[in-house]
Structure 1
Amino acid sequence: MKIIDGGVCAAKGFTAGSIRSGIKDSRADDDTAIIFSACECTAAATYTMNRVKAAPLYVTMEHLENGVARAIVANAGNANACAPDGMENARRMAKVAAKVLGVDEDDVVVASTGVIGQRLPVECIEQHLPEIVLDGNGSEKANRAIMTTDTKTKTAAVEFTIGGRICRIGGICKGSGMIHPNMGTMLSFLTTDCAITHEMLAEALQENVRKTYNRVTVDGDTSTNDMCVVLANGQAGNELIEWQDEEYQAFCKALNEVNTRLARQIAADGEGATKLVTCTVKNSRSEEAAERLAKAVVGSNLVKAAMFGADANWGRVLCAMGYSKAPFRPEYVSVAFESAAGRVAVCEKGAAIDFDEALAKQVLSESEVTIQVDVGEGTDCATAWGCDLTYDYVKINGDYRT
């Protein structure tokens, strides 16, 4: 497997582009994107677990009932959630995209992100979308068009081999605030030229989302608009993946690489964040227990604040583990902090140990910090990703709507 460039245009047969529709007068950048396949794709998706779901999700669910699609149309600046005429406007988005692309309306996935509770001015999308230009270098433009409070684009792509054929998977995503499992609390669009059945594609995506996007948290808020969509057009020419064989496992490995990279980028770009915080829990009784513990640690506001202040307050780590509802014995736990500046052990068998405070400060002052937790009870492990909690998070969200 090889890391490559190209995002959603890395795989054969995919183009992308964006246009400024003018959804928000204050936004000067493009706000509407399309990702398009030259041929029909098998398709699969996962959606937010929030009971309040945006209209585009329901339209996408309808369109993907048959397991096929050819295009994704997405806008930023308005979530079309809890909004007047929501379903009608989501369908109008699909309809105008279908007309522009010359495909059936049912073959278009619809996604939106932005302010909740305001009517989507779909008329401006209908007016300007016909001006869009798609090409094989359009992934970056599409990525920028779906950004809201994101400070940078988020992209990944890999090349791998299936049955002697070179295949590719690429993706783009957006997500900075209102990020918390479950589903993956962001928009993620993935494309591949690998030939794979809808059933195998859906199974691979569901399993992988659980171990990647669902292990990311920024602020504990699960969005109304989250979705992850993957389109597979088969243009790599490999033999169709129909079973959970070695070829399927190779596909899953490549998918995991892309989604892990995207998940880490989301966490690192959390609203107001200055550092990516990773927690790895090892030697747990089960993977599920390790996941609960790791997610509790990176989700703790007190841990996040300590990371911002570069304070080796390891007691907050154990406190978060204690309310995770995961089984473990505190008297077996050891904790260490790691970064490019080194490693410092701070707790052994549930108790304090002497450590160099100056070194700990250096370790925790890096832009990426890992909290290593050894629960000493088994062989399973899990990793979760988050970020620090800063003053800027409140500034960004204090007047987000206005």
Structure 2
Amino acid sequence: MKEKAINIIKGGVTSAKGFLAGAVAAGLKKNDLLDLALIYSEVPASVAGVYTTNRVKAAPLELTKQRVSGGIGQAVIINAGNANACTGEQGMPAAMEMARSAAVALDIPEEYVMVASTGVIGVPLPVEKIVKAVPGAASSLSKEGHDLACQAIMTTDLVPKEYAVQVQIGEKVVTIGGMAKGSGMIHPNMATMLCFITTDAVIASDVLQGALKGSVDDSFNMITVDGDTSTNDMVVVLANGLADNPAIQMDSEDYQTFCKGLSEVCRALAKSIARDGEGATRLIEVQVIGAPSVQDARLASRSVAGSNLFKAAVFGKDANWGRILCALGYSGANFDPALTDILIGDVAVAKDGGAVHFDEEQALKMLEQDPVKVFVDLKSGTHAATAWGCDLTYDYVRINGSYRT
């Protein structure tokens, strides 16, 4: 059977039918920068979500988790500049007030509004600034507003992150678009990030949840910048059904097609987060094959991508393959080091767990590329996985040494 094509299109969270977005400056960031975003569906939508595994969870995340469990949503309100995390008894009322103000401005049920926050932890959220700014955010909603919304959710991000695709379900074209923020405190499970995805597909919330979980496992849970996982991380998907496709059923051909489109969006956004790692100059892509299981392949690839020693070596353009083998060894993956082959780009630097002669100048050229590609064959099975990270530079310390101030 011929595989259905995934068409990449311009846009983000407003690419799908019936979705609008907008943003304003509420005064949470300095210099009157955009810091409050709204995403709105013209009709109620099925919703699904995946969240941080950190035991310390921010109030907006807890509220959104409750709302998503209801299966229906219509809007997301997001602020940057303050995480509303570790703020004690003030946290949940502030998150609920954000949702309430959005619901009033949009004239929708309060329980249909999800909330997300990002920024400094442990500082009370000045929710009165948000409430005052919400009507302006609602007035700014448009199909073109995806760009402003993308900018509004950024913190230390250097670039906005959005992506959209189209797939065919039955005789209908289904669009899937998303936006994300993330640059530091990035590590599975999940990375410190916010991601919002919209689609006009007809799909029930439980089926959407299954599709999202699988897509996140192979994308956002396969990136790492610095080994830290935060308190506010979430991926939320809204599906409003305006594509009018046949309802997508679990494990059907249409489901597989939808999952491929959703995974394409998730992987693209995940890679853009890793590439934009704080102070980073190059993306690192680590592909592991020949593993005994998918879990072993994921453990191995994530361990290499997350090794601070190897990340520093990539920054210094040093083909120090011993750091790769070392990271594989403490990854928890099941493999035989004496069988392992390692390549940097197309240069074989180790075979059967030992040194081989290689051209240092050619290896240097591979380490200058973006992305820097690492290929590992464990020769212990048939499973594979790919993880993404970035190099570790002086600027990472500079940025995080003064993040709060």
Shared fold, TM over 0.5: yes
Indicate which of 112, 126, 131 corresponds to 2:131: 126
Q: 3-state DSSP class of the match of 1:9?
A: coil
**Is 1:4 matched up with 2:9?**
yes
Indicate which of 256, 269, 272 corresponds to 1:265: 272
Indicate which of 28, 34, 59 corresponds to 2:38: 34
Q: 1:242 deviation in Å?
A: 2.7
**Is 1:282 matched up with 2:289?**
yes
CA contact (8 A) 1:184 1:209 kept: no
- State the alpha-carbon separation in 1 of the partners of residues 384 and 65 from structure 2: 33
- State the alpha-carbon separation in 2 of the partners of residues 128 and 79 from structure 1: 17
Q: 1:367 deviation in Å?
A: 2.4
Q: Provide Cα deviations, 1:77-117, integer angstroms capped at 9, x if missing partner.
A: 00000014100100000001111111111000100000000
Residue aligning to 2:3: none
CA contact (8 A) 2:37 2:77 kept: yes
Percent sequence identity over matched residues? Answer: 52
Q: 1:129 deviation in Å?
A: 1.4
Written as runs of structure 1 = structure 2, the 5 A alignment for 1:84-99 is 84=88, 85-99=90-104
- State the alpha-carbon separation in 2 of the partners of residues 64 and 301 from structure 1: 36
Residue aligning to 1:379: 382
- State the alpha-carbon separation in 2 of the partners of residues 266 and 65 from structure 1: 27
Written as runs of structure 1 = structure 2, the 5 A alignment for 1:166-181 is 166-181=173-188
Q: 1:344 deviation in Å?
A: 1.0
**Is 1:117 matched up with 2:122?**
yes
AA at the equivalent of 2:127: V
After TM superposition, which residue ranges in structure 1, 4 or more long, deviate above 3 angstroms? none
Q: What number of residue pairs does the alignment pair up? A: 397
- State the alpha-carbon separation in 2 of the partners of residues 377 and 162 from structure 1: 38
Indicate which of 141, 155, 160 corresponds to 1:153: 160
Q: 1:240 deviation in Å?
A: 0.9
In structure 2, the gaps of 5 or more residues are: 1-5
- State the alpha-carbon separation in 1 of the partners of residues 31 and 350 from structure 2: 48
Residue aligning to 1:224: 231
Indicate which of 206, 218, 221 corresponds to 1:214: 221
AA at the equivalent of 2:348: A
**Is 1:249 matched up with 2:256?**
yes
Written as runs of structure 1 = structure 2, the 5 A alignment for 1:305-316 is 305-316=312-323
AA at the equivalent of 1:289: D
Q: Provide Cα deviations, 1:321-376, integer angstroms capped at 9, x if missing partner.
A: 001111100111111111xxxx2110011111111111111110122111100111
Indicate which of 189, 192, 200 corresponds to 1:185: 192
Q: 1:27 deviation in Å?
A: 3.8
**Is 1:56 matched up with 2:60?**
yes
- State the alpha-carbon separation in 2 of the partners of residues 23 and 93 from structure 1: 14
Residue aligning to 1:398: 401
- State the alpha-carbon separation in 2 of the partners of residues 325 and 247 from structure 1: 36
The TM-score, its normalising length taken from structure 1, stands at 0.98
Indicate which of 337, 351, 354 corresponds to 1:351: 354
CA contact (8 A) 2:185 2:191 kept: no
